[in-house]
Every structure is written in C-alpha cells, then in structure tokens.
Amino acid sequence: MSDAPTVRTQVHRLPERARYDRPTIDRILDEALICHVAWSAEDGRARVLPTIQARVGDTLYLHGSRAARAWKAVAGGAEVCVAATIVDGLVLARSAFHHSMNYRSVVLYGRAREVTDPEELLAAARAITHHVLPGREDEARMPTPDEFKQTILFAIPIDEASAKVRTGPPKDDEPDLALPLWAGVLPLVTRPGTPEPSPDLPEGIAVPGYVADARRP
Amino acid sequence: MSDAPTVRTQVHRLPERARYDRPTIDRILDEALICHVAWSAEDGRARVLPTIQARVGDTLYLHGSRAARAWKAVAGGAEVCVAATIVDGLVLARSAFHHSMNYRSVVLYGRAREVTDPEELLAAARAITHHVLPGREDEARMPTPDEFKQTILFAIPIDEASAKVRTGPPKDDEPDLALPLWAGVLPLVTRPGTPEPSPDLPEGIAVPGYVADARRP
C-alpha cells in the first residue's frame, strides 16, 4: 500500500481498506458507469450532481451541459470533489452494526479545466462514448462544432485521489457467531437487459455485437 | 408537475425531466441502494462521500461512523446536499451528442440533525437494515448502546428536494435518422447473485427466503 498523495486524501476511517495505487484508482474510475461531482456554490454551500466520466491516462473527463447553471461554477474554476462508487455486494452480518457492503470507491480532488482544444474535445467525446459502451465510439456520429458549443467538457488531473475497497465476508463479534442466523454476502451484479430498438429505427439494421454482448465492466 | 419547493431545487436544464412530487422523490430515495452526501468542509471546499440511507416518512436517515473525520462537519450542523441516482439504461443515439441515460435521480438539501433519542436510533437502525435488504431487520441483532455510540445517524427532513427522470428512446436530430446505425436503449438491471455463506457459518443454517429471493427494488 502506497502513501496518500495529500492530507485530505488520507483515509482515516478503516485505513486497511485504503488504496492509493493508480491501477486500483484507474480501474474503479473506468468501471463505474457514473460519478458524483461536488463543489461549493457561490453561497458557500455544497452541491452534488451525477454525471458521466471517462479516464484518458492521467486525466478524468467530465461531461456537462453548457445550459446548466450547475456547471457554471465548475467551469469558472471551482475546485471539485468527485466520487465514483461501485457496490459489489451486501454484507449481511449477524449484528446490524456489522452490516456493510463490499464496494470499491474513489474520491478525487482537483480543479476542473474546461476543454477547448478541438483535438482534445474530440478525444474526450470519443472517450466518454467509449465509457458508456465500448465500441459505440466507432459508430456514433461525433459532435459538430455547434454541438461542442452546447457541451462543456472538463478535465481534472488524477493526482489527488484515494480509493477504498472492501471485500470478503462479514466480520461479526465472537459472541454473535453462535446466533442461529444466516450470515454472508449477497453479490450484486449489474447486467444489460434486452436491447430496445428506437421506434424510428429503419428495418434491417441489426443490433451490433458490442450492444448485444455488452457487459459491465 | 408541481412547483419546485425552493429556488435552488428548481430544475433549469431540461425542465421537462423535473419532478417535484413526493411519491416520485420517495420512490427514488427508497430504491437507490446508496446515496452520495456532499458538504462544505472547514476549508470551504466541497467533500462528497457515498453512504447508505433510509427513508421513514418525511425523514431521510443517513449512516456514518463516529470515528470518521468526514462526518464531524456534518454532525456539527453543516448543510448537506444528498444525491440518490438510479441508472435504468444506456440511451444510444446516432449522434454522440444525443447519447444519454435513462435515469431517476433526487437531489435533497437540508441540515443534518444527529439522532440521539434511543427510540429514534432504534427505528433508524431498523430502517437502514430494511433498506439494505427487506426482512433483514427482523433477524439481525439490533445495536447495543455501545454500538450506537460508535455510529452516527443523521436525520434530514425531506422538504427541499427535486427529482429528474429520463425515460424512453433516444431523440436524434432529423438528418441523423437516415444513418445506417442501430439506435435504441440498452436497459441496465442490478440483480443479486448467488448468496455466499460466511466461512464461520455453522452447518444447518439455511439461506433465508428474503436473501434467496432478493430483488432490487
């Protein structure tokens, strides 16, 4: 286990769950479908919104609408705190107190830079489309300059982040082990269902393999 | 569609997706397994963490550890912003720009009150255990006074909240409809897998029905 990059990324509560290595952090950022972005608004109070992200190397890209008031403070250079969380299972202990979840989460701090370079805009759009569904970035029509004007893409360096990971069975206190009560883990898995073609889809366009066989991660 | 309760809960971006009615808000808070809680820390910068919630009537309960630094500001009366988000599917449009997700989300503002009344503590612990897995609250051993001392339970009134809901197929621009490209929705469903008994489980304790047949919601 490496050290936390900064004081505020140091995990104090249950430090045995802390991970500071980039491969762990990157995998969680890649696998989590969405993230939650928090920032302090002009009134000093915190806001948080869900959005989609995509990682390209050492950069996390976030997607927002230019029309949304919410993103204006972020675009203005506010510092953000991003959380990406994957729940892998319910940890059912004998005691309510030791109930938990198996999860993998990342918290990332940074100042969001608005992406304006045309090449970087296109790379970020491709990365976000890939993040939604790998393979889609090769088929979807990429944004026009006018569409890019309606979108805000933010870049945050991945250099102040920590992860927390819990795995394994419940950890009950010794006296509770004799309780006549089932204990264990109930895994949770998110899977794609049956693709639903758009009502305006012309006949004869088959479901692509990357849609039919999609699995997360 | 009713009106937003306050200025900051008013949905400006894509207002046709806004919902301000309590049944919609309550159902999302009940169905989302976890939520993300944001607040402004002492340094004025936003923090966000995932945690578990449970709704009882007009109150949202949040669970934290007393040992966690993170919750101290919240316990001290800081205002919080809570987001609960459920992703129902990937919306695959012809254009990357119109890619979206079908989702249901709630954003709730409020000041967290620390729960200290013994009866309310027990009711909140039961509600949170029920939220994890309905039925578990009747079997799990409820917390002792000492365990309650290690836990922080917060109560937030559900009176300043808004929801956003997107459903249905992609909405492509007219010129893109002729592209030879599949478009539609790929639903995402989270389901429990096979229960994994704890290694320290005595033989002869069967998996309870509420575990074996668990479904979210």
Tell me what pLDDT residue B1 has: 44
**Is residue B216 one of the residues assigned to a domain?**
no
CA distance A183 to chain B (A): 6
Mean pLDDT by 10 residues, chain B (217 residues): 74 83 97 96 90 97 80 83 97 96 97 94 97 97 94 94 96 96 97 96 95 83
Do the Cβ atoms of A211 and B92 come within 8 Å? yes
pLDDT in tens, A137-178: 999 999 999 999 999 999 999 999 999 999 999 999 999 999
**Is residue A109 one of the residues assigned to a domain?**
yes
Tell me what pLDDT residue B84 has: 98
Do the Cβ atoms of B189 and A193 come within 8 Å? yes
Do the Cβ atoms of A46 and B52 come within 8 Å? no
Among chain A residues, the shortest Cα distance to B175 is held by A141
- Across the interface, of B87, B92, B207, the residue whose CB is closest to A34 is B87
**Is residue B203 one of the residues assigned to a domain?**
no
- The Cα B217–Cα B215 span in angstroms is 6
**Is residue A202 one of the residues assigned to a domain?**
no
pLDDT higher for A209 or A215?
Answer: A209
pLDDT higher for A76 or A181?
Answer: A181
Q: What is the CATH number of the domain that holds A65?
A: 2.30.110.10
Tell me what pLDDT residue B81 has: 96
The model's confidence at residue A1, banded by pLDDT at 50, 70 and 90, is: very low
Residue A216 has pLDDT above 70, yes or no: no
Q: Which H helix or E strand runs over B90?
A: strand B79-92
- Across the interface, of B65, B69, B105, the residue whose CB is closest to A50 is B105
pTM recorded for the entire structure: 0.94
Percentage of chain A lying above the pLDDT 70 cut: 97
Do the Cβ atoms of A200 and B172 come within 8 Å? yes
User: ipTM score here?
Assistant: 0.94
pLDDT in tens, A64-107: 877 677 788 788 788 999 999 999 999 999 999 999 999 999 99
Residues of B in contact with A202 (CB under 8 A): 177-178
**Is residue A55 one of the residues assigned to a domain?**
yes
Count of the separate structural domains present in chain B:
1
**Is residue B195 one of the residues assigned to a domain?**
no
Look over chain A and give the mean of its residue pLDDT values, rounded to a whole number.
Answer: 92
Tell me what pLDDT residue A217 has: 60
Cα–Cα separations (whole angstroms), residue B192 to A122, A147, B71, B134, B217: 38, 40, 30, 13, 11
- The Cα B47–Cα B39 span in angstroms is 6
- Across the interface, of B92, B147, B169, the residue whose CB is closest to A133 is B92
Range of the domain at A96: 7-172+179-185
**Is residue A40 one of the residues assigned to a domain?**
yes
Residues of B in contact with A198 (CB under 8 A): 169-170, 172, 183-185
Which value, in Å, is the radius of gyration of the alpha carbons in chain A? Answer: 20
**Is residue B40 one of the residues assigned to a domain?**
yes
Residues of B in contact with A37 (CB under 8 A): 48
Residues of B in contact with A39 (CB under 8 A): 46
Tell me what pLDDT residue B217 has: 60
- The Cα A85–Cα A34 span in angstroms is 8
